[in-house]
Amino acid sequence: MVKNIKMIARLSLFCGICIAVGYGSNKLYQTLFNIDRFDICHNGQISTTSCEMISATLANTFQSLSFSDISQKLKDLFPFIHNVSIAQLPTKEITVTLQPYTPLYVINNDHILLESGSIVPQHVYDETLYNALSHITYEQPLTTSLDRTCFSCLQSLNRSLLNTYDLTWVDDNEI
């Protein structure tokens, strides 16, 4: 009988220690791996509004996704992002470095054509950059990308030509 009580006491003590260690390791994990804050770095081309949208997305995804999944999600949600690198600092901070696609032209005064061929609203990029780009007029309905022939033509144009002339793309046969 005394043997059974000692056995139960030892088992209870062992279970208590296991629970304490489990709780402690969970607290240690949270302390080591929870993210206190993140910084977004970019080359100054992305607008403040776009950075705020990216920050909101990051705030909702850091606790639930891996870095590679976060990187892919950002590229899927924001087509102007070409590359994302994420680094965790020892201070529980995350640095997210964004490399946007190079903008080529402003289309119809309210969209920007990117080097990838995608078209994004003009508010995605900084206003200074928007003002420095050459403007073209595209008379067909805009989608998320340009007609291949038009895109190829624009890529082959000397940009200084657009400083002198206005360009209007009507169709494959008329510029």
The full set of domains in the chain, from first to last, is 35-100 (3.10.20.310), 103-169 (no CATH)
Residue type, 118: S
Burial grade of 57 (CB within 10 A; 0-12, 13-18, 19 or more): middle
Q: How confident is the model at residue 26 (pLDDT cuts 50, 70, 90)?
A: very low
Average pLDDT over residues 49-55: 89
Average pLDDT over residues 112-137: 90
Give the orientation angle of helix 67-77 with respect to helix 48-61, to 10 degrees.
140
